[in-house]
Chain A
Amino acid sequence: MSVVDTKMKQKPKWTVFLRFATPAVLASAGVLAITILALFVPPYIGMADNGDYFRILYSNGLYFNAPDYDSQYLGHFVKSYGIFQYFNENGATLSSSQSMFIRLSMWINQLFSPSVFDIRIQAALFTLLYTGAVYLLIEGLTWKLKAMQGYIIAVIAIFIFGDTAYTAFFNSFFSESIVLTMMIYLFAAVLLLYRNRFNDYVLIGIFLISGLILTTSKQQNAPVGVIIAVMSILLFFVRRQRPFRVLVASSLVCVFAAGIATYALIPQEFVNINKYHAMTRGVMLQSEDPEAALESFGIDKQFSVLNKSIYYEPFTTIDVDSEILQNHFYTQYGFGKIVAFYATHPEQAGKMLDLAAKNAFTIRPPAMGNYEQSAGKAFGAQTNFFSVYSDVKQALAPKTFGFIVIWMIVVIGLYLPSFISAWRNKNIREMLRLPQMLCMIAMGLSGILVSIIGAGDADLSKHEFLFTLAFDIVTFAVVADAIQGSLWNNMSVQKSQTISHSA
C-alpha cells in the first residue's frame, strides 16, 4: 500500500510542476530573470545617449544633472537624471506615447526621490510589461501542445527575447523599448484570438491598446497604424455579436486614426532631418548622375555637393535648417515624389533595398555603449552578456534584400494552405494567422521603406529596429509552428495532449 501511495504521490508532484511551470511561465520567468540580471545587477546594462534624449527628457520635466554628461554621449549609459523642481518651460518637442511611460515612471520614482530620477524605475516597468508580453506570446504558441515541444519553444523564446540587445533598451529613453513590448503584445493578442484562448473582448482590448501605443511611440511608426488597421479587418468577422463587431470596428478606426495623427504631428525638425537624408543619402546616393537626379526634382544641380552628407555631420557647408535649404531644396520634393523617383529608377531602388538589408538584422545599434562610466569599461563598450542570438543573427544573416524576399515568400507559402483551408471551411478565426504574419511582415517592411524613402541610408541600424523585431517574431512563430507540426494545418482545431489547461 505504501509503495502504491508513494508512486501516486510522485506522479502528482510532476503534474503539479507541469501545471504551474507551463512553457509560457517558464519562458517569461527565464526572460525576467535574465533581464533582472542584466539591468538591475551591477554593472548595470543600458544604452548611451546618442544625442536624442534631450527632446523627450526636457519636455517631460527631466534634465541632465550629471556635470560631465556631455562627455558620456554615445559612450556610457547614464542612469540618474534630475527632475525639474520649478516650472518647466520646455514645451513638448515631439508627441509620443513614450511620455506616458516616462511620466508613470516619474510618479513611481517620486516615492523614492523627489529630485533625482532613476531610469531603472522605467526599466522595471518595461521589464514587467515585457514579461507579460512574452507570457502571452508563448501561451499562444504552446497552448494545448505536447510538453516537450512546448518547453523547446520556451527555451528558444528565452534565447531570442531574453537577449540583452533587446532588453538594454529598457534602460534608455529610446522608444524602441515600447516598440519591442507592444509589438509582442499585438502579435500575441491576435495569436490568442486565433487559438481561441482567453476572452476575445480582453484580447481585442490588448490589441487596441498595444496598437495605439506602438503606432504613437515614434513618428516612423505612422504607417504601422494604417497597416494594423487594414491587415486586421478579418478580426471584425471573427464573431457575429454586435458588441464585438462594434468594439473591433472602433478599435481599427482608432489605430488607423492614430497612424494619421502621428504622421500629422511630426515636428518640422524631423521633417527636415528625414527630407535631407532622403535626398542626400537616398536619391543622390546611388545615382549615377546626382545632378540629373536633382534636376528631375527641379532642384539646382549645384546641391549635388551635398551628396552622401548626413544631417548629423558635426561640420557642414550649410546649416541644414537654413532658409536656403528650406526655400530651394526641401520644398521641391516630398514622400510621393521620392516614391515616384524610385518607381522610375528600379535599379537604384534595388541598390537602396540591398543597402537597407545590410543593417536589417542588427538589433543593438553599434554606436552606443552599454555600461556606466563608473563600471570602468571602455568608452562605447558593449555588453556580451546573453547576446548570443543578436550576435549570431548579425553575423550570419544573409544581408541582401533578396534574402528578405525569399523569407517573405517562404512564410507566406507556409501559411497559405491553412488559410485556404480555413477559407473553404468558412472559419474566419482560423483565417487570422496568415494576415497576422502579413501584418508583421508589412510592419517590418514599412520600417525599411520608411527609412529609405524618408531618410535614405542614414542611421539605418536604429531605424530598422521594427524590421529586425518583426523578423524575429515571425521567424520564431514559424519555428514554433514547425516544431508542433502545424504550419499547414490550423492549431485551433487540433486535438492534442495538453499540458495543464486541458488537465
Chain B
Amino acid sequence: MYKRVSSKVILFMMGFILLYPLPRVLALQNENAAAALLVYDSLAIGTENEGNVEALQRLLASFGVKLTVQSEGDYQSGSMFQYEKVISLVNEPELPEASRTFANDLEAYPGDFLYIGGNVPAKVKDELSLKLQISGQESIRLSIGPFMEQAIQVKQIAYIAEAEGKPYGKVVSDGNEEPSPYGMIRDGIAYISFFEKGNLSEIAMSYMLKDWLGMTEPSEHYVVFKEIYPFSDLELLVKLADKLYGAGIPFMASVRPVLSNTDYPAMKRYLEALKYVQSKNGTILIHAPAVASTISELDRDLRSQMESFIDVLADYGIAPLGMGAELYWSYDSYYVEKAMSLFDSALLFPNEKLMHKSRTNTSQPFASSVYSLQPDDLEAYEYKEKLMKPLPMDTALTFDFAQNEAVLNEEVQKLIDGWTMFADFKAGEHSVKTAKNSIVSRNGILQINGQSLSLVSERTSIDSDYIYEPEQAVSFEKWFAVQNKLFIGIILIAIAVFAVLFFLGSRMYRRKYFK
C-alpha cells in the first residue's frame, strides 16, 4: 500500500502547508455541533456484530456530531423530534421488534434519517423508491472510492436492486456479477445495506456519513504515536523524532500525563524529550490517564491534576494541543467535565476497557476530532490509486510507541515508503485552556498566553541531584544536642562509677568469704 515518498511529494507537502495561509475552517464548533440520535436494536454481544455500535459512534465523533445513543427498547416516545438527524442501526434483523414506539415516531419524523441493516421501514423504502433483494449468508466484494475489499462474509444482506438517489459504493455478491449500491441518499433519507466493524464497510460508511451530515470541509491524514510514558525509552523517542523530521513527516505524540512528582529529575528528563519532539515538528497531545478504579477513598480532583500537568508542560515551553482518549471518555460526564473540557480537540481511540464514572448516553463533540486507525487496517484493502487520498474524516494512523529500535525503524520506514501525505496537526486551530495558561495553535504557530513559542530546542542533560525529602525543621535542635551530650556524659560516668563499685564490692566479698 505504501510507496516510497519522493522528494517531490515532501516538497509538495511543505508547499501545501506554507501556501495555506488561512486557518483551516474547523469542522464544527462545540456549541453548534449537529445533534443526532442513534437507536440500535441490539449490541449483539458475543456475535460478529458486537462492536458495530461503537464503530459507528467513533465515526460520528470524528465528524464532530453530538450523538445520543440508546437502544430501541429504551426509546421514549417523541424523543427523536429533539434531534436534527436520526440513525437506526439493525444488528440482529431476526430479533422481534423491541418497541413499536420508535417505528411509529419515525413515520412522522421530518428530519434526516439514516437506516442501516435489514427490516427496512416503509418510510425509507418509499422515500428512496427502494426495492431490495434479500440474500442469506454469502461472500461479497465491496468497493468505495479508491478502496476495495474482497470476500467479506455477511450473514444476511439486503441488496439494493432498485432505488432513487445518490448511490455510494458497490456491492457484488459471489454468485452475481451485477453490482448494487452499498448505500443510497436522497433528500436526507439514507439507507445502507450492511455495516460491520473491522471491514471496508466502516470506511464506506464514512463516505456516506460525510455527505449525509452535510460536511464539506477537507480532511487530512495524521500519524500519531501513543503509549509514551516518562519511563519509556526516551532516547528512542528522540530518535523517532529525528527520523520523522528527517523524512519530513509531521507527527503527533499522545503522551501520558504525570500527576504527581512533576518536580523530580525523571520528570525533567521526560519534559526535555517532549520538548525535543515538539522542536522536530511533533505535536504533543495529552493522553487520558489510566483509570485504575472508579471508586476510591482518595479524594483526587481529576481537573486539577490535568490542569497541573498541562501547566507543567506549558511552563517548560511545551504546547499540548489536544487530548487522546478512549471513546468512552466522551460519553462520561465526569471525564468530560474534569478533563476533556480543557481541550477543543481530541483523538478518540477504540475502547479497550470501560471504566465509567458517570456514564451518559450523549457524547461530547469536539471542534476538531480525529479518527484513529491502525496501520494494518488499511493494508487489508486494495487501493487503486498511488497517492493515498485523505479519508472523508480527519484520520490518524495510530502506532503504539515501539519498545525497541528494530520495530521503530521498521515502522518509520513504512511511513517513509508509503504514499500517504501526513498533515501537521498544529496547522489547524486548536486550543487548550487552564486557569493559568491558554495554549493555541494557528497556522502552525504555537502560542502560550499570547506568546509565540520558539520550536528550536537543544536537549539539556538533567542531573540526578535532587532533594526528595526536605529536612524537617527541628525546634530547639542545639538545646537537644547539648542535652544529649550531657546525658551521654552522665550515663558514661554512672557506668564507670558502677564498674568501680562492682570491682571493689567483688574484691571485698572475695576477701571476706574466700579466705
- Residues of A with C-beta under 8 A to B256: 317-318
Query: Which residues from chain B contact A300 at a C-beta distance below 8 Å?
Result: 231
Out of B234, B260, B290, B305, which one reaches A319, CB within 8 Å?
Answer: B290
* Among A51, A311, A315, A316: residue with most chain B CB under 10 A: A315
A-B contact pairs, 12 of them (CB 8 A): A70-B294, A291-B464, A300-B231, A304-B264, A305-B231, A307-B468, A309-B260, A314-B296, A315-B302, A317-B229, A318-B231, A322-B290
B-to-A contact residues, CB < 8 Å:
227, 229-232, 234, 256-261, 264-267, 269-270, 289-298, 300, 302, 305, 403, 464, 468-469
B265's closest neighbor in chain A, by CB? A291
Residues of B within 8 A of A292 (CB): 464
Extra A-B contacts (20), CB below 8 Å, given A51-B293, A313-B300, A314-B302: A51-B296, A288-B468, A292-B464, A300-B231, A301-B266, A303-B266, A304-B261, A308-B260, A308-B261, A309-B261, A313-B292, A314-B293, A314-B294, A314-B296, A315-B292, A315-B305, A316-B292, A317-B256, A318-B256, A319-B292
Interface centre among A51, A290, A307, by most chain B C-beta atoms within 10 angstroms, is A290
**CB < 8 Å neighbour of A51 from B260, B295, B300, B468:** B295
Interface residues on A, range: 35 or more
Known: A291-B464, A302-B266, A302-B270. A317 touches B230 (CB 8 A): yes
Q: Name the distance in Å between B318's Cβ and chain A's nearest Cβ.
A: 16
CB distance from B500 to the nearest CB of A (A): 28
A289: which of B229, B231, B468 is its contact (CB, 8 Å)?
B468
Known contacts A315-B292, A317-B229, A302 near B234 by CB under 8 Å? yes
Residues on the A chain within 8 Å of B231, using CB: 300, 302-303, 305, 318, 324, 328
A305-B230, A319-B290 as given contacts; A314 in contact with B300, CB under 8 Å: yes
Interface set of A (CB-CB < 8 Å, partner B): 50-51, 70, 73-74, 286-292, 300-320, 322, 324, 328, 367
Q: Given A50-B297, A318-B229, A328-B231, decide whether A304 and B266 contact each other with a Cβ distance below 8 A.
A: yes
Closest residue of chain B to A320 (Cβ to Cβ) is B292
A313 x B264 contact (CB < 8 A): no
Contacts of B289 in A (CB 8 A): 315-317
Across-interface contacts of B293 in A (CB, < 8 A):
51, 312-314
Complex partner residue of B230 from A302, A309, A313, CB under 8 angstroms: A302
* Shortest 8 CB-CB contacts between residues of A and residues of B: A302-B231, A315-B289, A319-B290, A314-B296, A73-B295, A367-B297, A304-B266, A302-B266
**In this complex, what residue of B is CB-closest to A313?**
B292
Q: Are B298 and A312 in contact (CB under 8 A)?
A: yes
Alpha-carbon gap, A306 to B230, bound state (A): 10
Question: Are B261 and A313 in contact, with the CB atoms below 8 A?
Answer: no
Contacts of B230 in A (CB 8 A): 302, 305, 317
Give A322 to B227 CA distance when docked, in angstroms. Answer: 11
- CB pair B292 A70 closer than 8 Å: no
Query: For residue B264, which residues in chain A have a CB less than 8 angstroms away from its CB?
Result: 304-305, 307
B266 touches A313 (CB 8 A): no
Closest to A328 in B: B231
B293 CB to nearest chain A CB (Å) = 5
**In the complex, A290→B469 CA distance in Å?**
10
Instruction: Determine the distance from Cα of A52 to Cα of B155 in the docked complex, in whole angstroms.
Output: 43
Residues of A within 8 A of B229 (CB): 317-318, 324
In the complex the two chains form, is A316's CB within 8 Å of B468's CB? no
A74 touches B295 (CB 8 A): yes
**With the chains together, A367 CA to B464 CA distance in Å?**
37
The reply to whether B257 and A317 form a contact with Cβ atoms under 8 Å apart is yes
Q: Which residues of B contact A304 (CB under 8 A)?
A: 261, 264-266
Complex: A210 Cα to B335 Cα, angstroms: 48
What distance in Å separates the Cβ of A273 from its nearest Cβ neighbour in chain B? 10
Distance between Cα atoms of A302 and B267 in the complex (Å): 8
Chain B residues contacting A317 (CB-CB under 8 Å) are: 229-230, 256-259, 289-290
Q: Across the interface, which residues of B come within 8 angstroms of A50, CB to CB?
A: 297
Taking CB atoms, residues of chain A closer than 8 Å to B302 are: 314-315
Shortest distance in angstroms between B55's beta carbon and chain A's nearest beta carbon?
Answer: 24
Q: How far is the CA of A51 from the CA of B298 in the complex (A)?
A: 12
CB distance from A39 to the nearest CB of B (A): 23
Q: Please, which residue of chain A has its CB at the minimum distance from the CB of B290?
A: A319
How far apart are B44's CB and chain A's nearest CB, in angstroms? 19
- Contact between B297 and A74, CB atoms less than 8 A apart: yes
CB pair B266–A305 under 8 Å, yes or no, is yes
A318 touches B266 (CB 8 A): no
Q: How far is the CA of A300 from the CA of B403 in the complex (A)?
A: 14
- Please measure, in the bound complex, the distance between the C-alpha atom of A310 and the C-alpha atom of B290, giving whole angstroms: 13
Distance in angstroms from A46 CB to nearest chain B CB is 17
Partner among A305, A322, A367 whose Cβ is within 8 Å of the Cβ of B258: A305
Which of B261, B265, B298 interacts with A314 by CB under 8 Å? Answer: B298
CB distance from A439 to the nearest CB of B (A): 34
A311 to chain B, nearest CB (A): 7
CB distance from B333 to the nearest CB of A (A): 15
With A74-B295, A304-B266, A312-B298 known as contacts, the answer to whether A318 contacts B290 (CB < 8 A) is: yes
Q: How far is the CA of A367 from the CA of B299 in the complex (A)?
A: 12
CA of A297 to CA of B279, assembled, Å? 35
Which residue in chain B gives the minimum CB-CB distance to A327? B403
Quick check: B297 and A291 within 8 Å, CB to CB? Answer: no
- Complex: how many Å from CA A314 to CA B135? 50
Q: Are B468 and A290 in contact, CB atoms less than 8 angstroms apart?
A: yes
Is B290 a contact of A316 with CB atoms below 8 Å?
yes
Whose C-beta in chain A lies nearest to the C-beta of B230? A305
Provide the bound-state CA to CA distance between A262 and B296, in Å.
28
The answer on a CB contact under 8 Å between B292 and A307 is no
Q: How far is the CA of A311 from the CA of B298 in the complex (A)?
A: 11
Contacts of B403 in A (CB 8 A): 324
The answer to whether B297 touches A305 (Cβ under 8 A) is: no
Contact indicator B261/A307 (Cβ below 8 Å): yes
Chain B's nearest CB lies how many Å from the CB of A111? 33
Check B298 against A316 for contact (C-beta < 8 Å).
Answer: no
Q: Which of A287, A312, A314 contacts B468 (CB 8 A)?
A: A287
Residues of B within 8 A of A322 (CB): 290
Which residues of chain B are within 8 angstroms of A312 by Cβ–Cβ distance? 292-293, 296-298
Which residues of the partner chain B approach A316 to less than 8 Å between Cβ atoms?
259, 289-290, 292
B300's closest neighbor in chain A, by CB? A314
Bound complex: CA of A319 vs CA of B298, how far in Å?
A: 17
Query: Shortest CB–CB separation between residue B300 and chain A, in angstroms?
Result: 5
